[in-house]
Amino acid sequence: MDIELVKCECCGLKEDCTQDYITDVKAKFDGKWLCGLCSEAVRDEVSKGKSPFGMEEAVKAHMSFCRKFKSNPAVRVADGMRQMLRRRSGDLSSSPSSSSKKYSRSTSTSLY
């Protein structure tokens, strides 16, 4: 099983993946390879109905969003995770100090 370095076409984050995985992701996202965070953001947009034209338009919109920020991909990933947590908690404010909720990992969650 060969491992290949692939770069997210949205944020530029690089990951080592198998060719089968790369092919599977590209099939889901209009022929583009997206990292895990970008693929979740695109799926979230499609599932919420904010992108009335479907997956292709959601991918294009997210790629456009990512191009607006020209920082290190790791910083963008961290910012994206923070934004996702705020959206899911209902807190859309941009100030970290304005959130009274604390985020933590559940110890009862299992991967198996």
Number of domains in the chain: 1
Stated pTM of the model:
0.58
3-state SS track over the chain:
CCEEEEECCCCCCEEEEEHHHHHHHHHHCCCCCCCHHHHHHHHHHHHHCCCCCCHHHHHHHHHHHHHCCCCCHHHHHHHHHHHHHHHHHCCCCCCHHHCCCCCCCCCCCCCC
For residue 99, is it within any domain? no
Q: Encode pLDDT of 37-75 as tens digits.
A: 899 989 888 887 655 568 888 888 888 888 876 666 667
For residue 37, is it within any domain? yes
For residue 96, is it within any domain? no
For residue 58, is it within any domain? yes
Inform me whether the pLDDT recorded for 18 exceeds 70.
yes
For residue 61, is it within any domain? yes
Q: Encode pLDDT of 81-107 as tens digits.
A: 888 888 887 755 555 544 444 444 444
For residue 107, is it within any domain? no
Note down the domain range covering 26. Answer: 3-69
pLDDT of residue 98: 46
